[in-house]
């Protein structure tokens, strides 16, 4: 019996013992009360088998004859041994006039050892997601490496693209490498043109998410660190959303597929041969035409971008760290020493830790007492000439003989006489006392 049939038998026994009513048994069995009464009546004659279907174990009336099975399996073993069940059933019908369903053929092939049953694999489901309502609410961000200039320029270039989820509005730039610095430059250009989006949707690249050692979740090492881009997005008030698969950010992935076809041909017609020429054509010609043809109207007319207000993009979009101030008022960064200006030196600065920023323009800045101070590379400072004095030859000093030093004259004598007088005074006091 199946579990369902055992449950039905249990409820029938309870109804027969008057522990529950027939109506309650019918509700639990999901049948009518009339059927419960018939089962109780039949149970007196047939016993517990009353809950088992009467056709169980009987041969189906629609079962194919055994000779058809032998003929089909014979042809499969002879001519279609490496065929799958679906293809084998098609060939049996087309070549041998044997119309057999593919599932029946599959069962026969498994029984004959011609096919190995496969485990059902649960494929990942990527459900459809509605677009965001307003422009600037969500921006998908990704990079595509491709031979954008074919054989006319660099072998491969990187295209960093930010596409709006609601309107398909595209912002992109060619860069030399897919690095944190280059992505910050592209983000800066987007922010200056449109403002701050509410969220960005990216993959789990190392520039967005730090690479942590295995077992960090179980070891509980403390607060999770963040990358330079992650810190910049946090300071800008932009939410970072990570995609778990390429299909999740399908809008920008499909956009790259179109760009690798259209943009490559457009750059060929324009004769672009360098990264600078490609960026100039992309910004002046291609992107305006793309946004004119392929953008769509958002569900809401509200612009989701926020103003930059008084945010310092130069400070936020930079490489930030903390360094200890050495005794000579220098800090180390990227294998070089950087000098703090003399005008910014104050008590307690040596040995303290400073907030250091390496900005995109190459300058180094330190935050001292709430103010930004520019640092200068020690190798670039003017070399100060120091005069080295030659050592003078050693002169022979006069060394007086022992006991003949003018400073020591009378010291031992006077000292010994005073001591003898003191001892004599002490002796007389003891005799008189």
pLDDT digits (tens, 9 = 90+) for 88-103: 888 788 888 889 999 9
Return the residue matching tokens 């270039």.
157
**Mean pLDDT score of the chain, rounded to an integer?**
85
At 279, list the tokens.
């960026």
Closest CA to 212 of 203, 222, 202: 222
**Contacts for 280 with CB less than 8 Å, ≥ 6 apart:** none
According to the 3-state scheme, what is the secondary structure of 395-413? CCCCCCCCCCCCCCCCHHH
**How confident is residue 261, by pLDDT bands cut at 50, 70 and 90?**
confident
Q: Model's pTM, two decimal places?
A: 0.59
Look at residue 270 in the predicted model and tell me its pLDDT: 87
Judged against a pLDDT cut of 90, whether residue 316 lies above it is answered with yes
Tell whether the model's pLDDT for residue 51 goes beyond 90: no
Q: How many residues does the chain have?
A: 433
User: What's the confidence (pLDDT) of residue 4?
Assistant: 85
Q: What is the pLDDT of residue 220?
A: 47
Rounded distance between C-alpha atoms, residue 172 and residue 189, angstroms: 9
Residue 31, helix vs strand vs coil: coil
d(CA 418, CA 313): 86
Q: List, in order, residues 6 or more apart from 345 with CB less than 8 Å away.
A: 329
Average pLDDT over residues 377-405: 64
Mean pLDDT check: name the lowest of 56-65, 306-315, 404-413, 416-425.
404-413
Phi, psi for residue 20 in degrees, rounded to 5: -130, 160
Q: To the nearest whole percent, how much of the chain has pLDDT over 70?
A: 86
In the predicted structure, residue 23 carries a pLDDT above the cut 90: yes
Domain ranges of the chain: 3-51, 66-111, 139-210+227-294, 317-380
Q: Per-residue pLDDT averaged across 61-86, rounded?
A: 87
Percent of the chain with pLDDT over 90: 40
Residue 132 has pLDDT above 70, yes or no: yes
Q: Where residue 222 falls among pLDDT bands split at 50, 70, 90?
A: very low
pLDDT of amino acid 277: 94
Please check the confidence at residue 27 and state whether its pLDDT lies above 50.
yes
Which one-letter DSSP state was computed for residue 43? H
Distance, CA of 173 to CA of 175 (rounded, Å): 6
The average pLDDT across 300-304 equals 90
Q: Is the pLDDT of residue 276 over 70?
A: yes
Q: Which of 111-125, 140-154, 368-382 has the lowest mean pLDDT?
A: 111-125
- What is the pLDDT averaged over residues 351-368? 91
User: Worst-scoring range by mean pLDDT, 50-54, 68-72, 230-234, 289-293?
Assistant: 50-54
| Residue 142 neighbours by CB distance under 10 Å | 22
According to the model, what pLDDT value does residue 317 have?
93
Burial 70-108 (b: 16+ CB within 10 A, else e): eebbebbeeebeebebeebbeebeeeeebebeeebbbeb
Per-residue pLDDT averaged across 397-403, rounded?
60
pLDDT at 173: 95
- Cβ-based burial of 255 (10 A; exposed 0-12, middle 13-18, buried ≥19): buried
- Segment 407-420 shows an average pLDDT of 59
Say whether pLDDT at 213 is over 80: no
What pLDDT does residue 384 have? 60
Determine the 3-state secondary structure of 364 from DSSP.
strand
Amino acid 212: pLDDT: 67
Superfamily of domain 139-210+227-294: Ribonuclease H-like superfamily/Ribonuclease H (3.30.420.10)
The mean pLDDT of 413-427, rounded to a whole number, is 70
So what's the pLDDT on residue 61?
Answer: 82
pLDDT the model gives residue 219: 47
Q: Is 101 helix (H, G, I), strand (E, B) or coil?
A: coil
């Amino acid at each position: 019996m199946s579990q369902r049939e055992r449950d039905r038998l249990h409820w029938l026994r309870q109804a027969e013992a008057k522990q529950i009513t027939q109506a309650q048994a019918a509700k639990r069995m999901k049948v009518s009360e009339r059927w419960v009464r018939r089962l109780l009546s039949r149970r007196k004659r047939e016993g517990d088998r009353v809950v088992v279907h009467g056709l169980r174990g009987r041969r189906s009336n629609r079962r194919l004859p055994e000779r058809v099975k032998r003929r089909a399996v014979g042809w499969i073993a002879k001519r279609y041994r490496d065929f799958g069940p679906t293809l084998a059933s098609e060939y049996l019908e087309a070549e041998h006039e044997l119309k057999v369903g593919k599932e029946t053929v599959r069962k026969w092939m498994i029984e004959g050892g011609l096919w190995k049953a496969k485990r059902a694999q649960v494929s990942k489901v990527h459900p459809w997601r509605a677009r965001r309502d307003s422009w600037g609410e969500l921006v998908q961000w990704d990079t595509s490496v491709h031979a954008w200039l074919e054989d006319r320029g660099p072998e491969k270039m990187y295209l960093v693209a930010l596409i709006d989820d609601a309107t398909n509005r595209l912002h992109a730039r060619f860069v030399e490498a897919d690095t944190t610095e280059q992505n910050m430059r592209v983000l800066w250009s987007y922010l200056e043109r449109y403002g701050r989006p509410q969220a960005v949707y990216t993959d789990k690249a190392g520039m967005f998410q730090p690479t942590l050692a295995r077992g960090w979740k179980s070891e509980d090492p403390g607060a999770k660190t963040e990358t330079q881009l992650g810190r910049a997005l946090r300071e800008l008030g932009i939410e970072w959303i990570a995609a778990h698969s390429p299909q999740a950010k399908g809008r920008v992935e499909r956009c790259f597929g179109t760009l690798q076809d259209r943009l490559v041909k457009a750059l060929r017609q324009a004769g672009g041969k360098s990264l600078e020429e490609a960026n100039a054509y992309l910004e002046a010609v291609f992107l305006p035409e793309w946004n004119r043809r392929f953008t769509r109207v958002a569900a809401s007319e509200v612009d989701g971008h926020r103003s930059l207000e008084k945010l310092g993009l130069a400070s936020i979009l930079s490489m930030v760290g903390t360094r200890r101030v050495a005794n000579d008022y220098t800090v180390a960064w990227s294998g070089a020493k950087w000098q703090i200006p003399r005008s910014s030196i104050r008590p307690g600065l040596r040995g303290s830790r400073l907030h250091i920023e390496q900005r995109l323009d190459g300058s180094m800045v330190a935050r001292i007492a709430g103010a930004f101070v520019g640092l200068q590379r020690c190798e670039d400072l003017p070399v100060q000439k120091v005069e080295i004095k030659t050592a003078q030859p050693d002169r022979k000093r006069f060394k007086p003989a022992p006991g003949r030093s003018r400073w020591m004259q009378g010291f031992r004598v006077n000292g010994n006489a005073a001591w003898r007088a003191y001892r004599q005074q002490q002796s007389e006091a003891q005799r008189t006392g």
